[in-house]
Chain A
Amino acid sequence: METTQKTSAVKRFVSQRGMGQVITVTVGLIIMCIVFGIINPMFFTYRNIANLLRQIAPTLLIGVGQSFVLITGNIDLSIGSVVGMSCMISATLMTKGINPWLAVVITLVCCLIMGFANGVLVSKCKLPPFIATLGTMTIGRGIAQIVNGNYNTDSIGEAAQGFRDFFYGGKTLGIYNAFWIAIIVWFVLNYLLSRTRTGRHIYATGSNINAAKLSGVNVDKTIIIVYIVAAFCSCIAGLITCASTGTGTMDAGTSYELYAVAASVIGGVSTLGGTGILLGTVVGAAIWGVLQNGLQFAGAPVAIRNIVIGIIVVVSVLMDVVVRSGKVKVRKHS
């Protein structure tokens, strides 16, 4: 009795929508890990795995944020700038001697305002999301530059050691906190997306905004929520970045918005909206991190890493397209 229940739960888990691509890329991820493990036996050491997980954390966070936006059929190009803002604002405040936790709160508020602005521009003002967030991307980077007078900050200092441990250096159960934070955020947001009314509204808005509206969904509110979620994730990623280097750097998070798109689409989130699950984004981010880490280990220069990652993005989406059109062909012949 118990086993049948168990198998049906597994079956339900595997057969949920969007799982196909996730399974495919998970297999890819495993193969990748094995290959790197063979090339370099150091790959599977505790130390490397712990580092790898910590390395993945920011990508996972921004990927989750971007996935929310993509599922509603929109895009957020300001993610990287919000990471930069978060890093610079928090670092500047801390170097000025403000309590690190108060600095975190202030940073969070600033970033969420940015997300709110994105949401309002896209929903209420009906700007194309690409243009609206291109604008806020530039503004956000400008803010990151201006907060410390167009200089990177000095070290955030001894007083902020607790902050650095909490967001980056400290370990809980043998794993770095950065990873735990990312996973907890993922877990909560995954619950929000898959189990709550807001989550359903997000999918419905991306699937057919007219039908969603005519079903009583407040689509404007839904769009504002996803941009706030994206800004929240970016903010946390920025705090992790700040905690990792111990300084604020103005170009922190540059191009992250596109890495976020990459993590999302590798994991099966469609840029057209309406489809995709956050489990895929985790795998997408993991592939991203494993490639960076593994190729670095294998001694590949940055240029090669970029090329390989670019190819992976294209191939993973191409694979999905081929699988889908393959299905159509099978139907045609049989």
Chain B
Amino acid sequence: MTEKQCLVKMTGITKEFPGVKALNQVDFDLYSGEVVALLGENGAGKSTLMKVLSGIYEKDSGELEIFGQKIKDWDAGKAKDAGIAIIHQELNMCVHLSVAENIFLGREIVKKDGRLDNAAMNEQTKVILSQLNIDLDPAETVDKLSISKQQMVEIAKALSQNAKVLIMDEPTSALTSKEIDELFKIIRKLKNDGIGIVYISHRLEELKHIVDRVVIMRDGCYITQMPFAEERMDEMISNMVGHEIKEKYPKVHCQRGKKILEVKNLNAGPMVRDINFDLYEGEIVGIAGLMGAGRTETTRAIFGADHKDSGHIILDGKEVTIRNTEDAIRAGIVLAPEDRKKDGLCTRLSVRDNMALPNLDMICNNFGVVNRKQEKELVDHAIASLKIKLAGPEVDAGSLSGGNQQKIVVGKWLARNSRVVMFDEPTRGIDVAAKVEIYNLMNELKKNKIGVLFVSSEMPEVMGMSDRILVMCDGRITGEFMADEATQDELLTRATQFENKMNV
């Protein structure tokens, strides 16, 4: 693989959905042995462009050249045969089957008598995995593997089918930093082998490790491309959003008031161990840590979503009993959960239904009949104040963009006079503009003397938005800092402060 070969050339690609021009005359190319980052806000058209490339969507117009050949008919099967593989954000695996069974799914090796040749498949799987330096047993069932290992199996599967072009959509969103390192090693290896990689990610800070070139899209249009250079990061961001974001984290300063929430000796399973902290009026407390540190579990335990083993929750000086989420909501403690699709949103229900759901106690009479006028006021007000762009409150909440979905998950709580609002990864997978709006919302709560507790895996975000930072590791709080005194190094040190298992 000496000379760089043009793998993909897309020119003037246009794709329209009813009412939206998702792609407008977009150009894109990819050469062998390079990693191209495709950047843009949510809704910029990155995924649509890649779906056209991988044959999932049909283009309306434009030209597609694969390995120098003009393509006329194109569909997902042909793309796969040509060696274009896409690794989606949500992995597509049969989790009850083994690694080898997944890799050979649909093209199993069969002996002459019609029986499956498991030995041969396991053997070949081993070869593929070892080429990628992945240490896995081919016979292991996939649901026993971590997300990162599952992802690697998907990559191995693509390569076993002779993929020349690998499209990765937000591959690192569910990985820990160590796992990301491993993934990047594999990406570098593939690059050396001459495979062309398209890398879609919102995490700009990780690009420097692997990316050669960036292509920026905005509102369905190609904007610009440039060789990757760390010092041009601001330029990239401003190209993505179309206007410069002056202050990345719009932190406001408030006078710290009286204590709102006190959590004492909270225990809930192995991931929440002896948690103690306070929360005051006029401050945002961030909880930093690596994935699996027990931060989500802690917020869920406080909210009553999971069973607590022991501990006290003291709100405004009075101990409250929280056995379920209803108790928490009544007491004034609410949670905007991490996983929108799984925990946050009732898809197939309307935006109105979603917004009203936790607030039905406020808009129902004594017989439990919904007052539709009050409901409309509540929902309209929430939509307007959150600047959610909608055809109307009756649209299916699941059909909205990630940013708007997140605004609904967060916004449904704002109609209530809560005392404590907990946000779990509120900005994951949403575009820069929507992030800023979520930040502003948190600030608004802070100014209104509502306690804000905020879990995030993005260190700069925690440091930028919080007044005080708690660090968790392995189910315990391992550090507490004032935000202006904390450094990333210190936070990371505390976040990896695992218990010394030898002494136990």
Contact = CB atoms under 8 A, between A and B. Distances in A.
A203 B57 CA distance: 32
A198 B412 CA distance: 18
B326 interface: yes
Contact of B324 (A16, A200, A210, A218): A218
B351 to A, nearest CB: 12
B161 interface: no
B303 interface: yes
A15 B347 CA distance: 18
A72 to B, nearest CB: 12
Nearest to A272: B348
B394 A200 contact: no
Interface in B336-393: 337, 342-350, 353, 356-358, 360-361, 364, 367-370, 372
B170 to A, nearest CB: 22
Contacts of B337: 211, 214
A330 B16 CA distance: 11
Nearest to A203: B349
Interface string A106-139: 0000000000000000000000000000000000
B325 interface: yes
A333 B357 CA distance: 37
A197 B17 CA distance: 36
A215 B325 CA distance: 7
A332 B346 CA distance: 26
A213 interface: yes
A-side interface size class: 20 to 34
Given A207-B348, A211-B345, A274-B346, A197 B325 contact: no
A211 B340 CA distance: 9
A203 B358 contact: no
B114 interface: no
A275 B396 CA distance: 11
Contacts of B343: 208, 210-211, 214
Contact of A200 (B58, B305, B360, B367): B360
Interface residues of B, number: 38
A150 interface: no
Contact of B305 (A197, A203, A214, A334): A214
Interface in A3-27: 15-17
A331 B18 contact: yes
Nearest 5 CB-CB pairings of A with B: A207-B346, A215-B358, A216-B329, A197-B368, A197-B360
B335 interface: yes
Contacts of A207: 346-349
A212 interface: yes
A331 B22 CA distance: 12
A273 B89 CA distance: 26
A203 B353 contact: yes
A11 to B, nearest CB: 12
Interface in A197-225: 197-198, 200-201, 203-204, 207-208, 210-218
A214 B17 contact: no
A215 B357 contact: yes
A195 interface: yes
Interface in B279-320: 303, 305
A161 interface: no
A196 interface: yes
B325 A213 contact: yes
B345 A197 contact: no
A275 B350 CA distance: 11
A203 B360 CA distance: 13
Contact of B358 (A15, A216, A275): A216
Contact of B57 (A208, A274, A332): A332
Contacts of A274: 346-349
A196 B367 contact: yes
Interface in A220-262: none
B357 A196 contact: no
- The winner among A203, A211, A217 for most chain B CB atoms within 10 A is A211
A200 B357 contact: yes
Contact of B357 (A15, A198, A204): A204
Contact of B370 (A15, A196, A211): A196
Given A197-B360, A203-B353, A216-B358, A210 B368 contact: no
Contacts of B346: 203-204, 207-208, 211-212, 274
A30 B346 CA distance: 35
A196 B368 CA distance: 5
B303 A214 contact: yes
Given A195-B370, A200-B356, A214-B344, 15 more contacts: A196-B368, A197-B369, A200-B370, A208-B343, A208-B345, A208-B347, A211-B342, A211-B344, A214-B337, A215-B412, A216-B329, A217-B325, A274-B346, A274-B349, A334-B17
